[in-house]
Chain A
Amino acid sequence: RKEVEQDPGPFNVPEGATVAFNCTYSNSASQSFFWYRQDCRKEPKLLMSVYSSGNEDGRFTAQLNRASQYISLLIRDSKLSDSATYLCVVNFYTGGFKTIFGAGTRLFVKA
């Protein structure tokens, strides 16, 4: 089983739709979590950190479920510019910090 798993998609949604992605992780000692977006052939850009209490930034909401070992990202009122690959990141400590990126979920928002 992979340490971090994401549904690769693609998710094809119309503008204005709400879309949600999940990311599961296998290590229960995981300590910090992030969502990044990556446009084609570009570097990943930090979207948001994921806090235990959940957090929101405009149209984006991130949640953490430690019991079930997954994080989620909800995008409301999708824009064409939201089209990208969304990467989840999990950090955990096993004698040294380990950072694992998910393979990403591809989102296409269409007019």
Chain B
Amino acid sequence: EAGVTQSPTHLIKTRGQQATLRCSPISGHTSVYWYQQALGLGLQFLLWYDEGEERNRGNFPPRFSGRQFPNYSSELNVNALELEDSALYLCASSSTGGPSYEQYFGPGTRLTVT
């Protein structure tokens, strides 16, 4: 069974640009979560989508947004990039029910903002 996939693996952008990151959950999973892990820091919760709707978001500014498509894949958009947005962005999925269920992570997208 295929795991969570993310694309691209690496992304280099300049300050002020927009970045789009993509995630495909494990087949049968309807919940998708996004996390940010800056170098040397812990995972910070960004967004949770379930059944196409945003269910919760972490303490991040509105320029971090996303959506979930009918096939449950998801996109994270970061507008007006800042240098401190440089981090590993991890996507995870779980079966219906949300965070009480085990989350499985993709390999991440490493975003570098110069």
Within the complex, what minimum Cβ distance (angstroms) separates A66 from chain B?
A: 16
State whether A43 touches B108 (Cβ < 8 A).
yes
Whether A46 pairs with B99 at a CB distance below 8 angstroms is no
Give the size range of A's interface with the partner: 20 to 34
Binding site for A on B (CB under 8 A): 33, 35, 41-45, 48, 55-56, 88, 90, 98-100, 102-108
**Chief secondary structure at chain A's binding surface:** strand
Residue of B nearest to A97 (CB): B99
A32–B44 Cα distance when bound, in Å, is 18
- Quick one: given A31-B100, A42-B107, are A97 and B56 in contact (CB under 8 Å)? yes
A99 to B94, CA, bound (A): 13
Q: Are B103 and A46 in contact (CB under 8 A)?
A: yes
Cα of A88 to Cα of B55 in the assembled complex, Å: 22
The answer on a CB contact under 8 Å between A91 and B100 is yes
The distance from the CB of A95 to the nearest CB of chain B, in whole angstroms, is 9
Q: Out of B41, B55, B105, B107, which one reaches A103, CB within 8 Å?
A: B41
Contact residues in B for A49 (Cβ distance below 8 Å): 102
Check B48 against A46 for contact (C-beta < 8 Å). Answer: no
Of the candidates B41, B44, B100, B106, the one having the most CB atoms from chain A within 10 angstroms of its own CB is B100
On whether the beta carbons of B90 and A44 are closer than 8 Å, the reply is: yes
B30 to chain A, nearest CB (A): 14
Given contacts A91-B99, A103-B42, contact A43 B33 (CB under 8 A): no
Q: Which residues of B contact A100 (CB under 8 A)?
A: 45
Say yes or no for A107: interface residue by CB 8 A criterion. no
Are B42 and A101 in contact (CB-based, < 8 A)? yes
